[in-house]
Amino acid sequence: IWWLDPELTYGNAKPFVFTQGHSVCNRSFFPCFDTPAVKCTYSATVKAPAGLQVLMSATQSTYLEEEGVYQFYMEYPVPAYLVALVAGDLTHADIGPRSRVWAEPCLLPTAISKLSGIVERWLTAAESLYGPYIWGRYDIVFLPPSFPIVAMENPCLTFIISSILESDEFLIIDIIHEVAHSWFGNAVTNATWEEMWLSEGLATYAQRRITTETYGAAFTCLETAFRLDALHRQMKLLGEDNPVSKLQVKLEPGVNPSNLMNLFTYEKGYCFVYYLSQLCGDPRHFDSFLRAYIEKYKFTSVVAQDLLDSFLNFFPELKEQCVESKAGLEFERWLNATGPPLAEPDLSQGSSLTRPVEALFKLWTTEPLDSVAAASSADLSKWRTFQTVLFLDRLLDGSPLPHEVIKKLSECYSSQLDSMNAEIRIRWLQIVVRNDYYPDLYKVRRFLENQMSRMYTIPLYEDLCTGTLKSFALEVFYQTQNQLHPNLRKTIQQILSQGLNPLPAVDTTAVTTDTPAMVLEDKVSEATNGAISLRDVNVSA
């Protein structure tokens, strides 16, 4: 249960509280069988002060104003982690026949402008693929930047971080992913946390089927290329033999299941589901199977064998061909082998969007640098967000870059990127930090002074502390820590405390003011893995 003082909200007017149950946190909210194998209906009575709006992940709700009491009822069985509550200074507007958006008053106009009309389009597309939406309403609530993940698929009421509002394409993908969970994860749930891919891999596949229907194959392939790039980046960091790269991960006693969530859960899971769809020859045949799968197992929890047995029974001709034992692509190997996916999707339909990215990256990284040709070859202001972040991620992978390259990149793009969304800006600022490019360091300070969410602070602090800029990081943290949630503050303190003595000597006088002396409180001995930036693993639940 996250309790926020008014200062940690956008409006700074009223306190705020929300819960985040995934994966095993709701045992601290109410007594429960905190396992996805157990599902039940629930009812709740919540008393709140006047002026605070209370919402829950429920199909029915009433409010007795004279008593200040809300009553909620979820009529369909759900696992404990999908029980969710939020209360604060929230107002709403209808954005479709079965959807409304909730947000703090100062954010509501933006939320309406971004989502009015299109959520129903996504729901309709999903229903055409996978059958009726069974939860009644699909509402969305935007939470303050302290929300610890990007989004959460609580039934009837998706939780999403407000920070994502400025990044249109990420907002689209994140909400469509949560829409897909209405079928895969909420209706049919993985029975064990060791098989989270059953929810996340299927939801990611369904998300991409929905985006293909609504935005076209090229956009879907671009987003997939961006995510698979991140998967391979994580693979290099973790190593191909790392057991967390298995789809069926072994959950050791005492380990929080959330620690097993990574891009393999999503993207390797997606690749396996995509492979199954290709065995059918036509994705529409696979859509028909998934509709039957949902109908058979809705409101229950399943294991991987349930899905695979159902698949082979639905396609007896594939069963006769023994596709589950095809050399090198055995189903058992997909589930239990470490390393990258055994097969990846054909993304050639996105080449019109990915080719310009590859060409521009090659121009900037080919020696000798022809900066005039590189600068004139593409106008980033006309690119999609996913094109720009794919380009910047590849520059990040190649960092540190030659000084001449980073200098010319800054001259060409830095001021242009200033006006773009935070998903783009944070990547450019990570390039600045990883290349110790002092002329743009003031932009890192300005960005951190205006960000309060994990997704836009942790990656920069990790990079600052990995390199030679720890004293700069200490100074910025000292000046901004009071605007951060205590949990986030503690995480940053852990990052800063690694190898705190001695601090590297850095002359940042050209871009900073004098650094105040600072003592870190609550130092912890547990090491944080700064090598794996959260930009690689910061995904929607």
| pLDDT tens-digit map of 507-526 | 333 333 333 333 333 323 33
AA identity, residue 446:
R
Long-range CB pairs of 279-287, under 8 A, 24+ apart, other chains included: 279/315, 279/318, 279/323, 280/315, 280/318, 283/209, 285/315, 287/129, 287/130, 287/209
Task: State the pLDDT confidence band at 308, using cuts at 50, 70 and 90.
Answer: very high
pLDDT of 541 higher than 50: no
Query: What is the average per-residue pLDDT within 284-290?
Result: 98
Q: Identify the three-state secondary structure at position 371.
A: helix
- What is the distance, to the nearest Å, from the Cα of residue 431 to the centroid of all Cα atoms in its chain? 21
CA distance 503 to 468: 9
Question: Which pair of tokens denotes residue 234?
Answer: 């994580």
What pLDDT, on the 0 to 100 scale, is given for residue 318? 98
The reply to whether 92 sits in an annotated binding site is no
- Provide the CATH number for the domain formed by 2-182 in this structure: 3.30.2010.30
Q: Which of 104, 153, 169, 178 is catalytic?
A: 178
Query: What is the average per-residue pLDDT within 182-201?
Result: 98
CA distance 418 to 415: 5
Task: State the pLDDT confidence band at 499, using cuts at 50, 70 and 90.
Answer: low
Percent of the chain with pLDDT over 90: 89
What pLDDT, on the 0 to 100 scale, is given for residue 533? 38
Q: Is the distance from CB of 178 to CB of 158 less than 8 angstroms? A: yes
What is the rounded average pLDDT for all residues in the chain?
92
Beta sheet of 151-152, edge-to-edge order: 91-96, 99-103, 139-143, 157-161, 151-152
CA distance 511 to 417: 19
Q: Is the distance from CB of 170 to CB of 114 less than 8 angstroms? A: no
Residue whose entry in the numeric block shows the structure tokens 């006047």 = 50
Cα distances (angstroms) measured from residue 221 to each of 11, 189, 224, 427? 38, 27, 5, 21
| pLDDT tens-digit map of 407-457 | 999 999 999 999 999 999 999 999 999 999 999 999 999 999 999 999 999
What pLDDT, on the 0 to 100 scale, is given for residue 511? 36
Q: Is the distance from CB of 302 to CB of 243 less than 8 angstroms? A: no
293 is catalytic: no
Return the number of other C-beta atoms located less than 10 Å from residue 50's C-beta.
6
CA atoms within 13 A on the CB side of 477: 30
Q: Is the distance from CB of 200 to CB of 269 less than 8 angstroms? A: yes
CA dihedral 419, 420, 426, 428 (to 10 degrees): -80
| pLDDT tens-digit map of 324-341 | 999 999 999 999 999 999
Query: What is the average per-residue pLDDT within 304-310?
Result: 98
Q: What is the full DSSP assignment across 212-239?
A: HHHH-HHHHHHHHHHHHHHHHHHHHHH-
Q: Is the distance from CB of 42 to CB of 155 less than 8 angstroms? A: no
Q: What CATH number matches the domain at 191-251+259-336, 1.10.390.10, 1.10.260.40, 1.10.3720.10, 2.60.40.10?
A: 1.10.390.10
User: What are the boundaries of each domain within the chain?
Assistant: 2-182, 191-251+259-336, 348-497
CA distance 134 to 152: 18
CA-nearest of 34, 78, 37, 38 to 56 is 78
Task: State the pLDDT confidence band at 467, using cuts at 50, 70 and 90.
Answer: confident
- Provide the CATH number for the domain formed by 348-497 in this structure: 1.25.40.320
270 is catalytic: no
The reply to whether 317 sits in an annotated binding site is no
Two domains, one topology: 2-182 and 348-497: no
Task: State the pLDDT confidence band at 259, using cuts at 50, 70 and 90.
Answer: confident
Q: What is the full DSSP assignment across 394-457?
A: HHHHTPSPPHHHHHHHIIIIIHHHHTS-HHHHHHHHHHHHHTT-GGGHHHHHHHHHT--SHHHH
| pTM (two decimals) | 0.92
Q: Identify the three-state secondary structure at position 487.
A: helix
What pLDDT, on the 0 to 100 scale, is given for residue 500? 54
What are the backbone angles phi and psi of residue 361, rounded to the nearest 5°?
Answer: -60, -40
Q: Which of 42, 138, 266, 461 is catalytic?
A: 266
The reply to whether 181 sits in an annotated binding site is yes
Q: Is the distance from CB of 446 to CB of 414 less than 8 angstroms? A: no
What pLDDT, on the 0 to 100 scale, is given for residue 241? 95
Q: Is the distance from CB of 422 to CB of 163 less than 8 angstroms? A: yes
CA distance 501 to 422: 33
Q: Is the distance from CB of 222 to CB of 390 less than 8 angstroms? A: yes
